[in-house]
Amino acid sequence: MKISLHTYIFIAILHDAAATSKLNEVASYDFFVDNNGRPDYIFIGGEMKMLSIAKELQPDIVKFRRDFHKYPELGWTEFRTASIVAKTLEENGFGIIIGEDAMDGSMMKNLLPADELESQMKRALAQGAHAQYLEKMRGGKTAVVGVLDTGRPGAVIAMRFDMDALPIQELQTDSHFPAREGFASVNDGVMHSCAHDGHTAVGLGMAMALAKVRDKLTGVIKLIFQPAEEGVQGGATSIIKKGLIDDVSHMLSFHIGLAARTGEIYCQTTDFFAITEYHVDFTGKEAHAAANPELGKSALLAAAAATMGLQGIYRHSAGASRINVGMLASGQKSNIVPNKAVMKLETRGATTEINNFMKREAERVINAAAQMYDVRPSIRYGGESITAVCDPSVTQATKQIAQELGIFEHVKDILSLNASEDYTYFMEYVQNRGGVAGHFIAGANLDSKHHTIGFNFDEDVLWRVVALLGALVFKFA
């Protein structure tokens, strides 16, 4: 509902005298009332206008989220998702950077073989991918960056949205909301179980919202749609190395859910764990376990000894650390001394320095176990990420805007992540070049925990995040 400017000014003065100082700064004013006709929110200028736009866009944002949920794609195979992102960005007046132009392929880790990537691209096409974008994404180069250059001086603001799913078989019973509503995963063994479908949908909601207020914006806004966040496989660093955030002054991102419920927002995320993933091959010598076992060199025993030894690494006094052996495979038959063993593990630390300590100790234990059983170890490193700290200025701005918008029942300061997130590379890079960075947690009630077969989140969070990010754009621009 809208009322006259004069009535708006009168109510604005009654509602908040400080608001009158802004009246000469804006060209139009919207006053909204609740269902009972009482004043709901007073919106002055672009920061507040984003809220009404976000509410209007909620059906479209939900539609995107459910589409991405139904057709999930693992890291480096987000062909369908990325093509929809690219098309939507172009339709909303953004310039797009995709494929090799958006990422450095040398940073990509854990890539599927070329024939499997080709197969995933064909599946994406069959499921509705936009063909005009796919050729540039060949080889798994699925990053997309949308650029809105207003042509007016101002800040360079970047927001990051991760797109990839997880290798999980989704629950398909009627007790599971996506299954009951017809948007559970149709891709066997792949599921959006960490809300990246929501993150990507929010990113497209931002594109549509910003397009509606383009003539009010200043500076440059970059929407970064990142592949391969899960397992920290190089999705972030591949984009950074291409130079696409060299000019960024403000870097923003968020996560849906975690320990926060619908209506809650935590304005600063802390305790981003640094992480290193390892793939270890032990090579020994096979032998008959009864006839001549002395001729064998058991790779299995070396790997088992290493597994036990890794659990005994001293913890660091400076902060929390983690270690986990997630996979151990060896052997073929009970009467053969196994000559091969494979181990996959990870270390984490509350700081990069603590994780580096864990990394050195893990290498020492692995090499010592191999030497004890006279086998050869080969250590390959998978995903890695670092720790980072949000800038207080971004945290304070997030808190102020969240309170002013009035769409969060509980505006809280800090939530500890106690996990790893490669967005920290974006944070550190921008901060080292004189910019600022922040990350917040947007609450959503969950049907099941993250990374489980029954995961689902309350979609009411989506428009709230678009409103907050949009208001932050106006705040920083």
Number of Cβ atoms within 10 Å of the Cβ of 305? 18
Q: What is the pLDDT of residue 45?
A: 60
Average pLDDT on 4-25 reads 38
Average pLDDT on 151-166 reads 97
Q: What is the DSSP letter of 316?
A: P
CB distance 386 to 424 below 8 Å? yes
pLDDT at 382 over 50: yes
Q: Which of 9-18, 169-178, 208-217 shows the lowest per-residue confidence on average (mean pLDDT)?
A: 9-18
Q: What is the DSSP letter of 174?
A: T
Joined together, the tokens standing for residue 446 give 């969950």
Q: How far apart are CA 170 and CA 177, in angstroms?
A: 11
Average pLDDT on 281-286 reads 98
Q: What is the pLDDT of residue 12?
A: 42
Average pLDDT over all residues of the chain: 91
pLDDT at 260 over 80: yes
Higher pLDDT, 355 or 382: 355
Query: Given pLDDT bands bounded at 50, 70 and 90, which one contains residue 231?
Result: confident
Joined together, the tokens standing for residue 333 give 């038959």
Average pLDDT on 267-277 reads 95
CB distance 193 to 452 below 8 Å? yes
Average pLDDT on 48-60 reads 94
Average pLDDT on 5-29 reads 39
In degrees rounded to 5, what are phi and psi of residue 144?
-135, 130
pLDDT at 9 over 50: no
| 54-272+389-476: CATH architecture | 3-Layer(aba) Sandwich (3.40)
pLDDT at 44 over 70: no
Percentage, residues of the chain above pLDDT 70? 90
Q: What is the pLDDT of residue 35?
A: 43
Q: Which of 5-14, 249-258, 313-322, 458-467 shows the lowest per-residue confidence on average (mean pLDDT)?
A: 5-14
Q: How far apart are CA 297 and CA 281, in angstroms?
A: 14
Average pLDDT on 83-106 reads 97
pLDDT at 22 over 60: no
Q: Which of 97, 200, 191 is nearest to 149 (CA)?
A: 97
Q: What is the pLDDT of residue 454?
A: 98
Q: How far apart are CA 471 and CA 477, in angstroms?
A: 10
The b-or-e profile of 16-49 (16+ CB within 10 A means b, else e) is eeebeeeeeeeeebbbbeeeeeeeebbbbbbbbb
Q: What is the pLDDT of residue 17?
A: 40
Residues 232-244: tens digit of each pLDDT: 899 999 999 999 9
Distance of CA 380 to the CA centre of its chain: 25
Query: Given pLDDT bands bounded at 50, 70 and 90, which one contains residue 114?
Result: very high
The CA distances from residue 261 to 61, 118, 256, 257, 309, in Å, are: 20, 40, 9, 7, 40
Domain ranges of the chain: 5-37, 54-272+389-476, 274-385
Q: How far apart are CA 281 and CA 379, in angstroms?
A: 7
Q: Which of 185, 85, 74 is nearest to 129 (CA)?
A: 85
DSSP class per residue in 6-66: HHHHHHHHHH-GGGGGGGGG-S-EEEEE-TTSSEEEEEEHHHHHHHHHHHHHHHHHHHHHH
pLDDT at 31 over 50: no
Average pLDDT on 120-132 reads 98
Domain 274-385, classified CATH 3.90.550.10, yes or no: no
Q: Give the global pTM.
A: 0.87
Query: Given pLDDT bands bounded at 50, 70 and 90, which one contains residue 401?
Result: very high
Q: Which of 37-41, 391-395, 437-441 shows the lowest per-residue confidence on average (mean pLDDT)?
A: 37-41
pLDDT at 63 over 80: yes
Which residues touch 28 (CB under 8 Å, ≥6 apart)?
none
pLDDT at 138 over 90: yes
pLDDT at 6 over 80: no
